[in-house]
Amino acid sequence: MVQHFKIVLLWIFKLSGLFAISRLLTRRCFTIVGWHGVSFSNEHERLPAYFVSAQTLRKRLVFLKKHFQIVPLEDLICQHAEGRIKPRQVALTFDDGMYNFSARAVPVLNDFGSPATVYIVSNTMQERVLTYILLIQDVVFRTSFDATPAGLCQVASSCSLRDHAAKRACINRFKEEYLKLPEDQTLQKGFIAEFAEGLGVDIQDDLSSETWRYMFSDEIRTLSDSGISVQLHTHRHHDVVHYPDTIFQEARTCREHVERVTGKKATDYCYPSGYWEKRAWKPLQDAGVRSGVTCISGLNTSQTPLLALRRHIDTEYMSQIEFEFALSGLQWILYSLVGRNTFFKLQEAT
């Protein structure tokens, strides 16, 4: 009901010209849009916070192409350094470097002639590596069971799967258990195999499919050669809050690996899991990082710190009108007025 009311209100804003006025008022700000996965089939239906469909991505690009100039992130960083931002610009970014970026997102980007940046987790590109964290989530949404068996994967008690909230809680419980494992693909694969079997889900096709794997280094090199900017998302997806002692090493190792593969400079960083804090800036700078994107929604100006750039994360949950509301700058203006900047100030993870 609240969501329905919101959508009606947004349409009224749009039809009364408020979106257009806001785009005009905020034209000297720049926006960075972030995505994670683009579905091979219907992954976005089960995991809409991570995947969008290719159709949704296409719709977003039609809108962006009509109202903005889609530019490389590099251009925005150069203009930021000069203190002079050109009007109506947006940059596109994709996190994690999964194969679906190359197979599903890039063809859409090419149709629109749109530049983009992909942030790579560098320990995934030498051999076939799957994202078992996402597969755990997918199994939970595919099972017909209404609870997990007690003792499954060392989790002593049974977890309810009766509704969406229970499934989210169950995912978090098993993710926690999974993250205790050493970084060993065989052990991790054993965990997901036991988990899926315990919930009656056949994942044989998943394990051999392209859906859950990261890109190999030769695929990354091909993308880089074609003009995609390949940048840094740490070596092991270690965030700066939970792994503060590894910030420098994670960024530097990732940088070395990416630069070796692409033969180009990689100095732009994406904070894993959106966690960030100012204390990370020094070790990141020491590792040669010049910019960092967060998951804090909002517009950027020439005053926004380069190591704390705001970014609008798009998901399949978001309707087209909500996306246009956010990108118009009206969301930023309203929330800044109502919340006195509470919603968009650069909050640090604690």
239: contact with Zn ion by CB under 5 A: no
Residue count, binding to Zn ion (CB under 5 A): 3
> In this chain, which of 35, 51, 76, 96 binds Zn ion, going by CB under 5 A?
96
- Closer to Zn ion at the Cβ: 95 or 138? 95
- Closer to Zn ion at the Cβ: 10 or 38? 38
- Closer to Zn ion at the Cβ: 21 or 349? 349
- Closer to Zn ion at the Cβ: 96 or 316? 96
- Residue span 195-234 as binding mask against Zn ion, x where in contact by CB under 5 A, dash where not: ----------------------------------------
Query: In whole angstroms, how close is the CB of 95 to Zn ion at the nearest point?
Result: 4
By CB under 5 A, the residues from 5 to 34 that bind Zn ion are none
Total count of residues recorded for the chain: 350
Pick the piece of the chain touching Zn ion (CB under 5 A) from 90-98, 148-156, 174-182, 276-284.
Answer: 90-98
Pick the piece of the chain touching Zn ion (CB under 5 A) from 75-83, 94-102, 181-189, 274-282.
Answer: 94-102
Pick the piece of the chain touching Zn ion (CB under 5 A) from 138-146, 267-275, 298-306, 337-345.
Answer: 267-275
- Closer to Zn ion at the Cβ: 37 or 329? 37
Query: In whole angstroms, how close is the CB of 97 to Zn ion at the nearest point?
Result: 9
Pick the piece of the chain touching Zn ion (CB under 5 A) from 62-70, 219-227, 271-279, 308-316.
Answer: 271-279
95: contact with Zn ion by CB under 5 A: yes
Q: Are 121 and 258 in contact (CB under 8 A)?
A: no
Q: How far is CA 309 from CA 79, 133, 182, 243, 304, in A?
A: 14, 27, 33, 21, 6
Query: In whole angstroms, how close is the CB of 34 to Zn ion at the nearest point?
Result: 10
Pick the piece of the chain touching Zn ion (CB under 5 A) from 87-95, 154-162, 242-250, 324-332.
Answer: 87-95
- Closer to Zn ion at the Cβ: 178 or 332? 178
- Closer to Zn ion at the Cβ: 104 or 238? 238
Query: In whole angstroms, how close is the CB of 271 to Zn ion at the nearest point?
Result: 9
State which amino acid sits at residue 82.
E
> Which 3-state string (H, E, C) describes the chain?
CHHHHHHHHHHHHHHCCHHHHHHHHCCCCEEEEEECEECCCCHHHHCCCCEECHHHHHHHHHHHHHHCEECCHHHHHHHHHHCCCCCCEEEEEEEECEHHHHHHHHHHHHHHCCCCEEEECHHHCCCCCECHHHHHHHHHHHCCCCECCCCHHHCCCCCECCCHHHHHHHHHHHHHHHCCCCCCHHHHHHHHHHHHHHCCCCCHHHHHCCCCEECCHHHHHHHHHCCCEEEECCCCCCCCCCCHHHHHHHHHHHHHHHHHHHCCCCCEEECHHHCCCHHHHHHHHHCCCCEEECCCCCCECCCCCHHHECCEECCCCCCHHHHHHHHHCHHHHHHHHHCCCCCCCCCCCC
State which amino acid sits at residue 107.
P
268: contact with Zn ion by CB under 5 A: no
Applying CB under 5 A, which residues contact Zn ion? 95-96, 272
